[in-house]
Structure 1
Amino acid sequence: MRMPDFWRAEGALWPARLLTPFAAVLGTLTLRRMARTGFRAPVPVVAIGNFTAGGAGKTPATIALAEAFSARGERPFVIMRGHGGRLAGPVAVDPRRHAAETVGDEALLLARAAPVIVARDRAAGARRAVAAGATLLLLDDALQNPHLIKDLTLALIDGAFGFGNGRVIPAGPLRAPLEGQWPQVDCAVIVGPDTAGIAARIGPAIPLHPARLEPAPEAAARLAGVRVLAFSGIGLPEKFEASLRACGAEIAAAHRFGDHHRFTPAEARRILAEAEQLGARPVTTEKDHVRLGGHPDLERLAARAEILPVTLRLAPETLDLAYRAVDSARSRISTASGPA
């Protein structure tokens, strides 16, 4: 899906107004779904989500939490739907035999940091993970999903995009009315400078913590002063392009595709031909790169394209909040279980 221009705060108003009745119905249904009581897992559960459709940094945040908890001696498993893949699961992701078409691009990225279970029924995924030895569950893109009771929920918000035009899908990018989602969130994490006025909109409703995306230093050094052709199929492609500029790259051309876009051989050939014509190096995101396979032209583009990995730096207070929530949940679980 490619984000319509009118979803942005500065977009045209008439399409949003026309779609508002449909948004009211969908928003109500989503809030009712969020209010359901889910399965209580026998290990702590941390959910990462966002208020809107589109990229806000959920995958890098999940990776950052997986690495932080692993360093503490935990064995975190990621439970996710596997958007863009066709397997309903629950299935343990194996990058050696699974592709983006089967489990989704994000699952392949997350599997580099922690074991991943793709499951449309997240309660079933949780049971599979616990049976495999998980001591902690990280739920990717789960703010609106009620299948599991959560011990901590973090909502990621892009500092530049904010809430777009502030309307609910399909009139805007919100998955449900903001005020109805706030009770489900323990902390909002603003990624990048808050140029969209997020803090003013949320006020004291929920705690706000900062975070920042950083390009990998090695990739940034390789791209400094380089003329590039950027191509991406992510929720907010302008974030990727801003990261390239921050590295000192010169963007000769930029091609934006819908989120989770499946590149075709013809598109791969066009990108390579245009890059050669412009004297530019093709460059893309990690998430897009894992979808470049299954055909010689796609594999040729994958071999030629530079990747710009990014890391999400969570604030110390965010990590402390997560650690306390997990420790508290484990104490509650131990008390409820009683003596062995």
Structure 2
Amino acid sequence: MKPPQPGPLRTALGPLSWLYGVWMRRRNARYDRPNAAARVAVPVISVGNLSAGGTGKTPLVRWLARTMLERHVPTAIVSRGYGGSAGAGPVVVSAGDGIRCPASVAGDEPWMLANSLDEAIVVVGSDRTAGARRAVELGARLVLLDDGFQHRRLARDIDIVLLDRTRPFHRDRLLPAGLLREPPASLARADWIVITRSGSPDGAERLETAIRSYNPSAAILHADHETEELRDAAMAVMPRPARTVAFCAIGNPERFRSDLERLGLEIAGFHAFADHRRIDAATLRRLRGQADDAGAELVTTEKDLARIGLDTAASFGLRVLPIRTVVRDGERLVHAIEERLRRQPG
């Protein structure tokens, strides 16, 4: 997702951004009051962002969930289920025993998380308080609130905010003239800030200075992602091809392109569709034909695989490029979550 470029359109959208900022500040003031948010019986860890568009949130949620599951903590992911038909919910995508509904109901990101985390509880619905309570009924001892920074109806014990190093938030504007979902001052609510697309703190001094001007005390971590080998629809590792035709419908398509290039793959064609768009069979046939003509493999992302479906992906011979998050000093965050679990009554 890209903001409007400087010019007449962005200038014209300025008054709408101002009105949006007024509304958001009033909304936040309402939830800043004591006891304004509902609580559930287990710790809630919110993972969210300040901006619209891809910041690496889903891979970080997966990393956190997998880490806590490996430490034998029954963990749930509660999500709105954007792009799915769950409505208010709660709809159980998985109770840790297999996927119960398709991505058309769950939304592509929750389905992808459930598909890659066998033991995780995944619940979707716009009423995330009800979703968290359902997760607790299913045995969760920890709830990860996916994309939760703006969802303030549900109280959280730790607020994690992701900031994309390649898109400095302090130079952006509020929606719709920019990509900011909230004024930068909202960063003061964060307990932990993870700078994504950042393998090291070297060279990030200006961004960290901007962060400290709004939040002098939050812990700051740096995270990046690593690509794995290409896989088929069943997630079996496949040989690396010489050429690819690639397509995606995600928030940051250029990151996908650069990941393919870093693997040394020649890109014979690249198609970026609107975020969360469902790629239909006619489009897949056209892309498959282009790949065949170019002597290339047809490659997409895990999120797109969720929308397309495993059977359809297999029938078109799609290849998938998985990614995983690498968090520098991530053990500090895990330790903070474990400390919060130890303090939980009962």
- TM-score normalised by structure 2 residue count: 0.86
Instruction: Return the letter of the residue paired with 1:215.
Output: T
| Whole-angstrom distance in 2 between the partners of 1:69 and 1:106 | 19
Question: CA offsets, 1:177-227, max 9 Å, x none?
Answer: 111x212211221122388853343235243211110011465x9575621
1:154–1:189 Cα contact (<8 Å) kept: yes
Question: CA offsets, 1:275-332, max 9 Å, x none?
Answer: 12222211010000111149xxx9267641110000001222x33234324423641x
Structure 1 match to 2:208? 199
1:43–1:330 Cα contact (<8 Å) kept: no
1:48–1:62 Cα contact (<8 Å) kept: yes
Structure 2 match to 1:213? 225
Instruction: Return the letter of the residue paired with 1:93.
Output: V
- Relative to structure 1, is the Cα distance of residues 30 and 159 closer, same or farther in structure 2, using a 3 angstrom cutoff? same
SS at match of 2:26: helix
Instruction: Name whichever of 298-307 and 237-246 sits farther off.
Output: 298-307
- Relative to structure 1, is the Cα distance of residues 300 and 319 closer, same or farther in structure 2, using a 3 angstrom cutoff? closer
2:250–2:275 Cα contact (<8 Å) kept: yes
Question: CA offsets, 1:249-285, max 9 Å, x none?
Answer: 1111110011111112221121111112222211010
| Whole-angstrom distance in 2 between the partners of 1:4 and 1:289 | 23
1:45–1:326 Cα contact (<8 Å) kept: no
Alignment map for 1:219-238 (pairs within 5 Å): 224=240, 226-238=242-254
Instruction: Return the letter of the residue paired with 1:19.
Output: L
CA RMSD of aligned residues (A): 2.4
2:279–2:307 Cα contact (<8 Å) kept: yes
2:21–2:182 Cα contact (<8 Å) kept: yes
Structure 1 match to 2:296? 280
- Relative to structure 1, is the Cα distance of residues 283 and 223 closer, same or farther in structure 2, using a 3 angstrom cutoff? farther
| Whole-angstrom distance in 2 between the partners of 1:170 and 1:16 | 8
Percent identity over the alignment? 35
1:78–1:115 Cα contact (<8 Å) kept: yes
Which of 79, 94, 113 aligns to 1:110? It is: 113
Structure 2 match to 1:67? 66
| Whole-angstrom distance in 2 between the partners of 1:156 and 1:223 | 34
Structure 2 match to 1:184? 189
1:223–1:248 Cα contact (<8 Å) kept: no
1:289–1:302 Cα contact (<8 Å) kept: no
Alignment map for 1:40-119 (pairs within 5 Å): 40-88=39-87, 89-94=89-94, 96-111=99-114, 112-113=116-117, 114-119=120-125
Instruction: Return the letter of the residue paired with 2:312.
Output: E
1:49–1:155 Cα contact (<8 Å) kept: yes
SS at match of 1:290: helix
SS at match of 1:12: coil
| Whole-angstrom distance in 2 between the partners of 1:45 and 1:175 | 22
1:39–1:147 Cα contact (<8 Å) kept: yes
Instruction: Return the letter of the residue paired with 2:265.
Output: A
- Relative to structure 1, is the Cα distance of residues 270 and 149 closer, same or farther in structure 2, using a 3 angstrom cutoff? same
Q: Does 1:17 align with 2:11?
A: yes
1:292–1:301 Cα contact (<8 Å) kept: no
- Cα drift, residue 165 of structure 1: 5.4
| Whole-angstrom distance in 1 between the partners of 2:172 and 2:48 | 17
| Whole-angstrom distance in 2 between the partners of 1:148 and 1:167 | 27
Structure 1 match to 2:234? none
1:49–1:143 Cα contact (<8 Å) kept: yes
Instruction: Return the letter of the residue paired with 2:142.
Output: L
1:49–1:154 Cα contact (<8 Å) kept: yes
Give structure 1 stretches of 5+ with no counterpart.
none
1:30–1:144 Cα contact (<8 Å) kept: no
- Relative to structure 1, is the Cα distance of residues 215 and 70 closer, same or farther in structure 2, using a 3 angstrom cutoff? same
Q: How many residues align?
A: 322
SS at match of 1:304: coil
- Cα drift, residue 103 of structure 1: 1.1
